[in-house]
């Protein structure tokens, strides 16, 4: 299986960061299982070093941010990674994005649809994203 449909194999630890309007949420996956979560207020900066100190086996990161946070990874951590994906409208996806203005489609909505596609492949799925605003991509 591929983590969240983004092509990250489950043989290594994966860090998923969802930086929303209110919270920055961190999820560490191993073998399709969340083994650790952490959250901080969105007004704070994304911090990689404490996470990598606790989980040095992380090899892949996907970051989805609805704001303009500093997403720079310290060079000593970047050297350890196989993959670092900053999710946006140009990210290669396992779905076709038919949204008229792809650059304005929320990254949280893209992630939700890709996740649903991974959980229910080859099925029609309605995805409702209940964050700060409740939305459903059409």
What is the span of the domain harbouring residue 71?
2-96
Beta bridge partners of 93: none
Contact 28, 14 (CB under 8 A): yes
Q: What is the pTM of this model?
A: 0.76
Does a structural domain hold residue 62? yes
CATH at 11: 3.30.420.40
Catalytic residues: 108
Would you say residue 30 lies in a domain? yes
Q: Residue 135 and residue 51: Cα distance in Å, rounded? A: 31
Number of domains in the chain: 1
Query: Does residue 74 lie within any of the structural domains?
Result: yes
Convert the pLDDT of each residue in 49-78 to its tens digit.
Answer: 888 889 989 999 988 887 766 666 777 777
pLDDT tens readout for residues 70-126: 666 777 777 888 888 888 888 888 888 888 888 888 888 888 888 898 889 999 988
């Amino acid at each position: 299986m591929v983590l969240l449909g983004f092509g990250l194999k489950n043989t290594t630890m994966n860090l998923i960061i969802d930086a929303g309007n209110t919270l920055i949420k961190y999820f560490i996956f191993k073998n399709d299982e969340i083994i650790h979560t952490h959250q901080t207020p969105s007004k704070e900066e994304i911090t990689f070093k404490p996470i990598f100190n606790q989980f040095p086996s992380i090899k892949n990161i996907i970051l989805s941010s609805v704001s303009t946070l500093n997403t720079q990874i310290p060079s000593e951590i970047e050297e350890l990674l196989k993959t670092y994906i900053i999710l946006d409208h140009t990210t290669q996806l396992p779905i076709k994005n038919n949204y008229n203005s792809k650059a304005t489609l929320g990254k949280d909505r893209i992630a939700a649809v890709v996740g649903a596609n991974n959980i229910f492949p080859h099925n029609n799925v309605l995805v409702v994203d209940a964050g700060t605003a409740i939305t459903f991509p059409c």
